[in-house]
Amino acid sequence: MPPYTATYFSVKGRLGAIKIMLADKGQELKEVHVTMEEWQKGDLKATCVFGQMPKLEDGDLVLFQSNAILRHLGRSHGAYGKDNREASLIDMMNDGVEDLRSKYIKLIYQEYDTGKEAYLKDLPNILCKFETFMAKSNSGFLVGKEVSFADYNLFDLMLNHLVLCPKSLDNFPKLSDLVKKMSARPKIRALLDSEAFKKIPINGNGKQ
């Protein structure tokens, strides 16, 4: 039995970064895809701590909240910095990724047709914060010399933005390098190229 089971809608959404991280760490993941029809029955929702997915089971530990899941996996697989100082910086950067992801999700689900232009106009102001921070790290990762859960999260979100606007990283060499470097990691490459991964939409409403 694989050690990890994820339950989620059949979208990349908030599970994408988790899947990328588990793949890179050589971990097997069993996925349970829930249809909207099943979800609307309410039984599963009632068992979710905050009434939402993704859910990750690690043996008898059941976790919700995608960022808590990323942190858990970061702790379990050596992707949470070499000491407390690095861990705190990784937390800070991951919170920055979450802020951008929340804006992205709002765009996708609430204002795609009316707000895309304004979103893309403001995007460089957000990306430059990551770019500036990354300029301090020589490793090409956000913090320290090793990949962390925040790198997987940022990478996943940058992939989404490259679909939203292929030129979005053109003026951001550090972020472009992160995408290149992460995409070239063999286990990540294999996941991204797999039919199972490719056929799952990024979001649940067909917008991307």
Structure tokens at 83: 């000491």
Among 12, 14, 19, 71, binds ligand GTS (CB under 6 A): 14
Q: Does 207 bind ligand GTS (CB under 6 A)?
A: no
Identify whether the C-beta of residue 151 lies closer than 8 Å to the C-beta of residue 182: yes
For residue 178, give both structure tokens: 């992160």
Contacts with ligand GTS in 16-55 (CB under 6 A)?
45, 51-54
Span of 59-67, 71-79, 80-88, 144-152 interacting with ligand GTS by CB under 6 A: 59-67
In DSSP notation, 171-190 reads T-HHHHHHHHHHHHSHHHHH
Q: How far is the CB of 207 from ligand GTS (least distance, A)?
A: 12
| CA geometry: angle 96, 132, 148, nearest 5 deg | 50
Q: How many angstroms separate the CA atoms of 208 and 205, rounded?
A: 9
Distance CA 66, CA 153 (A): 10
Site string for ligand GTS, 144-163 (x = CB under 6 A): --------------------
Binding residue count for ligand GTS, defined by CB under 6 A: 13
Q: Which candidate, 190, 141, 155, 164, places its Cα nearest to that of 16?
A: 155
CB-based burial, 166-193: b 16+ in 10 Å, e otherwise: eebbeebebbbebbebbeebeebeebee
CB nearest ligand GTS: which residue? 52
Which of 10/183 has CB closer to ligand GTS?
A: 10
| Candidate segments 7-15, 85-93, 110-118, 166-174, binder of ligand GTS by CB under 6 A | 7-15
Q: Rg of the chain over CA atoms, in angstroms?
A: 17
Binding status of residue 10 toward ligand GTS by CB under 6 A: no
Min CB(154)–ligand GTS separation in Å? 15
Q: Tell me if 13 contacts ligand GTS by CB under 6 A.
A: yes
User: Which residue of 17, 18, 19, 66 would you call a contact of ligand GTS, by CB under 6 A?
Assistant: 66
Stretch 176-205 residues interacting with ligand GTS (CB under 6 A): 204
Residues of the shown chain interacting with ligand GTS in the complex, contacts defined by CB under 6 A: 9, 11, 13-14, 45, 51-54, 65-67, 204
